[in-house]
């Protein structure tokens, strides 16, 4: 990863600012090095491909080095640019089986408005929790973290305590690591159950799609999970 995150050799964050909806957002796709090339975790909305290519060039890679794209979930700010990327890269597409119908066009994205949706794409691999992908940073384990989306997944590197959280956690403002935002989370109860599951893992630092790298881990995630317990007791 860049600068402060070099401890996680083989994992690189790609922070980019893109137009989305009526404004701009900063997002954090991530690439992971493997023996056969790069795994890209989340793509961004339409128009993000050129920024990803620029980041990869600075790392000594080409866009064509991406052989696998893993989608944490189907929201447009994560998957909207996938069809555009696949016009330039021959990559395998993987996501959780509960997310696949949204990507292929069998179902419309849950949070789309006005009937607008991004171009459908084929899904080559349907993931489930427990699957491990070999990488140069050690095994990357798929963790089921539903709630923000029906089949949302996060990626955990048990050898170095890194979590790529997708939208299961966010880093925003005065709270550098917090739970998913309720306004964007259709099933908040399941989302907080997912945070509880993450709290059981050995995590030292987190990459949030919204907020980037956070030097915080299991202890803070347990604090977030406790908010659900306290709410249930009220």
Round to whole Å and give the CA distance between 127 and 116: 26
Round to whole Å and give the CA distance between 50 and 183: 30
Round to whole Å and give the CA distance between 146 and 154: 9
Strand (E) positions, the chain? 11-13, 16-20, 23-27, 30-34, 37-41, 66-71, 92-96, 125-127, 132-133, 140-144, 153-157, 162-166, 170-172, 175-178, 205-208, 212-214
Residue 114 has what DSSP assignment?
T
Q: Residue 116: its pLDDT value, please?
A: 65
pLDDT in tens, 11-47: 999 999 987 777 888 999 999 999 999 999 999 999 9
Sorted by where each begins, the domain ranges of the chain are 3-233
Q: What's the pLDDT band for 2 if we cut at 50, 70, 90?
A: very low
Q: Which residue has the higher pLDDT, 161 or 176?
A: 161
Q: Which residue has the higher pLDDT, 140 or 181?
A: 140
The fold adopted by the segment(s) 3-233 is: Metallo-beta-lactamase; Chain A (3.60.15)
Bridge partners of residue 125, in order along the sequence:
94
**Phi, psi for 189 (deg, rounded to 5):** -60, -45
Q: What's the pLDDT band for 233 if we cut at 50, 70, 90?
A: very low
């Amino acid at each position: 990863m860049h600068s402060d995150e070099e401890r996680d050799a083989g994992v690189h964050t790609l922070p980019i600012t893109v137009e989305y909806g009526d404004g701009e957002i900063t997002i954090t796709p991530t690439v992971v090095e493997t023996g056969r090339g790069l795994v890209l975790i989340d793509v961004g909305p339409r128009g993000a491909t050129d920024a990803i290519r620029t980041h990869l060039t600075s790392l000594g890679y080409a866009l064509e080095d991406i052989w696998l794209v893993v989608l944490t979930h189907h929201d447009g700010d994560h998957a909207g640019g996938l069809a555009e990327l696949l016009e330039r890269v021959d990559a395998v597409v993987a996501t959780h089986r509960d997310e696949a119908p949204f990507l292929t066009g069998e179902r419309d994205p849950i949070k789309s408005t006005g009937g607008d949706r991004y171009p459908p794409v084929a899904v080559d691999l349907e993931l489930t929790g427990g699957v491990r992908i070999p990488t140069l940073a050690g095994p990357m384990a798929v963790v089921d973290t539903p709630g923000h989306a029906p089949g949302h997944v996060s990626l955990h590197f048990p050898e170095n305590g890194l979590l790529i959280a997708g939208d299961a956690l966010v880093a925003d403002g005065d709270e550098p690591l917090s739970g998913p935002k309720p306004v964007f989370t259709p099933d908040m109860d399941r989302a907080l159950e997912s945070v509880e599951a993450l709290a059981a893992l050995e995590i030292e630092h987190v990459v949030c799609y919204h907020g980037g790298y956070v030097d915080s881990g299991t202890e803070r995630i347990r604090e977030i999970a406790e908010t659900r317990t306290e709410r249930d007791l009220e």
